[in-house]
Amino acid sequence: MNPLRRASRVAGFGALTLGYGTGFAIAHRQAKGATKRLVRDAWVKGWSSSLIDLFAIDVRATGLVPGNENGLLVVSNHRSTIDIGIILRLFGGRMVSRADIAKWPILGRAAASVDTIFVDRQDTISGMATVRTMRRCLEERDTLCIFPEGTTYGDDEVRPFHQGAFVAATRSDALIVPVGLAYGGAAGFVNEAFSEHLLRMASAESTAVGIAIGVPFRCDSRAAELARQAHSQVSDLVRVARTLAEAQR
């Protein structure tokens, strides 16, 4: 372990998040109308790219990022906090996140500032409100990024998907974009505090991640069928991502 590298990355994480958050707040306040979304996407992609570079994340991707003329619902398996940066760098848009993250130091405030949608899955009222917000987001032809497993897991098995986002999608013309993620090394975020996870990631020399982007499909079925189709495709894409993550460079 290199203590200097770990300290510089942890400090850099705080500085980049605070710096981008402040800059975004100023730029977003000055933007008008439809340009607000463009400003948001530019800033979140910049922040994500900077953090990926800072932590030496070796992103190995396959597949194409589609245009979002009708809105996109990006659905992925969830293994690490790094997932958020990778997805935002590729797609921009708004994330859907569990409610407790809003209380995390630095990151929670930054997430709230870029219109992250927070949901308490144990609260029915919160869940219903979140579905309405997601529906409005997709009807406005924005990009919405979700981890429908609901939390992080430590292996490649894709757990059952919550259906809330798919219920929202049935009322839109959006496309669903399946994504599979797999990591080399110990990047998983399971049964530990965020501070512990941050220190462990900051100590790693580099981290390989495979990401496979699937073929978008239309929201022309019931929510349960959309969730089943997305789950099947994400499961297949994770196997592709695993091959990428473990390939020798």
Return the CATH fold of 3-246.
Answer: Glycerol-3-phosphate (1)-acyltransferase (3.40.1130)
Listed residue (145, 139, 141, 128) closest to 91, CA to CA: 145
Map the chain to HEC letters.
Answer: CCHHHHHHHHHHHHHHHHHHHHHHHHHHHHCCCCHHHHHHHHHHHHHHHHHHHHCCEEEEEECCCCCCCCCEEEEECCCCCHHHHHHHHHHCCEEEEEHHHHHCCCHHHHHHHCCCEEECCCCHHHHHHHHHHHHHHHHCCCEEEECCCCCCCCCCCCCCCCCHHHHHHCCCCCEEEEEEEEECCCCCCCCCCHHHHHHHHHHCCCEEEEEEECCCEECCCCHHHHHHHHHHHHHHHHHHHHHHHHCCC
Q: What is the pLDDT of residue 1?
A: 66
Average pLDDT over the chain reads 92
Beta bridge partners of 59: 209
Beta bridge partners of 233: none
Question: What is the Cα–Cα distance from 86 to 58, expressed in whole angstroms?
Answer: 10
- Most distant CA atoms of the chain, gap in Å: 53
Q: In this structure, is the dihedral angle defined by the CA atoms of residues 54, 154, 193 and 231, taken in order, positive or negative?
A: positive
Instruction: Report domain extents, the chain.
Output: 3-246
Question: What is the Cα–Cα distance from 188 to 191, expressed in whole angstroms?
Answer: 10
Map 141-201 to HEC letters.
Answer: CCEEEECCCCCCCCCCCCCCCCCHHHHHHCCCCCEEEEEEEEECCCCCCCCCCHHHHHHHH
Q: Which residues of the chain have pLDDT under 70?
A: 1, 249
Q: How many residues does the chain have?
A: 249
Q: Both tokens of residue 40?
A: 């948001």
Question: What is the Cα–Cα distance from 224 to 46, expressed in whole angstroms?
Answer: 35
